[in-house]
Structure 1
Amino acid sequence: MDQASERRDLPSDPLKFLIVDDHALVRYGLSLALRQRYEDVAIIEAGTLAEAMRKARSEPGLAAILYDLQLDDGDEHSGLVEMLEAAGDVPLIVVSGVTDGNVIASCIRAGARGFVHKGCEDTVLDQALPIVLDGGIFVPAPPAVRGGTPIRIPLPPSAAPVRTESDAVSGLTDRQREVLRLLLEGQSNKEIARALGVLEGTIKVHLRTVMQRLGVRNRTQLALATMKSGIKLSSQ
């Protein structure tokens, strides 16, 4: 296979994330966590609500927004509502040290698609991002709650180490298997996104996750690994 074909096999555009936090060190940490997970990532940063709203409206193709609930120029609730309005269809994950279950619930009711505690392990992003980008809501139970009732949503079990292609493919989620099936039918990222009713950025996240699990770098290698696994990807 020539180099041009190899380049066509890879997801084309980088995943684009907007990180909103008034602390530069926090923005750096989140940026580093995302870059460690995805090979091709574009990071946009904002330190204020006003800057974040402007960038959310002007930057096309955002996959997700990671948003600090407590910004200097925005009230917790009203600021979040303004940010959600600016974000439009782009999913927003609140990243905050708040542990009050009532506050967490109000964020979700307002339209946030996820809530991640600043004190959690960074591996929580491995669980939160695919769920949120796939149209779900991610809210782990807080370790401690000051006032109010905690929201208790169990986290999915950690994935076991991948040893074979069969283990890797059989361990995929239903949505990841559906994305893989459509990809093997020759559909593009845009066509798969349209068929499943999700953003194209969501498909890119799923493909990168599947490729990482199988230890491959392009669609051709992915197809070969899937066939080698012997797992049937049913359309049922």
Structure 2
Amino acid sequence: MIKFVTKYHKERELILLKNKIFIAITLSWLLSIFVFNNYADAKVIVESKDIIKDKPKIELYIPQLRDLVDGNIQRQINQQLTATTESALDDFNQLTNNMLLSIKKGSLPAEYANRLTLVSDYEVKLLNKNIVSILQYGYQDTGGAHPMPFAYAQTFNIKTGKNYALKDLFQPMSSFAYYLTEKIKLEIKLRNKQDNYIFTGLQEQQKFFLTREGLFIYYQPYEIAPYSEGFIYFFFPYSDLPDIKLDEILY
């Protein structure tokens, strides 16, 4: 069979070839966006180490990094993440022992033992090629007036293992503490919470975590407000923080 190739066929094949190239480039571009937005550039996985127990009820999910280039840094970070949960477990065990002793003495009803609960989980707030910021949260019930929630965030440099304090995010000689304090005071006024919140300034070991969008300062129940207020968060976009080490955090 003789196949005749006309000018029309050649032009059509050229158009099809151009379309294929365009589609390939577009798919590659979309894939690169997907990878960037999901922090795959870090080539690091956060997986869970679980501790589960029935009586008392204990459900602990501990974040653990995997596939870091430096195994020593990975071990160092994972130990600190584990220590946070283990500290909560130690406190819970002590309170549990006190409660069981009170039940044994008859000063508390036996059904209080059924309330004993410790639950913790985690959320990866930021993960890229430089930084991982993880919030570990949960609650414990040891027979008080209500369960007690908690949240502890840690931010690490996954290349050096450095565990950041708030001041480490900013350039030397920065007036970030004054700036954040004044911004929080203003925000409290805007929320009309002057009578609910007792805020005088940042804490020495101020709790915070990072996201792609900015910095979150937060407080546990009872730290600056009654239990009924729950967790209190103050958000600062990176664009409002001129002294922050943005290149180190996001790129």
TM bucket normalised to smaller: under 0.3
Report 1 or 2 for greater relative contact order, CA contacts < 8 Å, sequence distance ≥ 6: 1
Superposition TM-score, scaled by structure 2 size? 0.23
Q: More strand by proportion, 1 or 2?
A: 2
Superposition TM-score, scaled by structure 1 size? 0.24
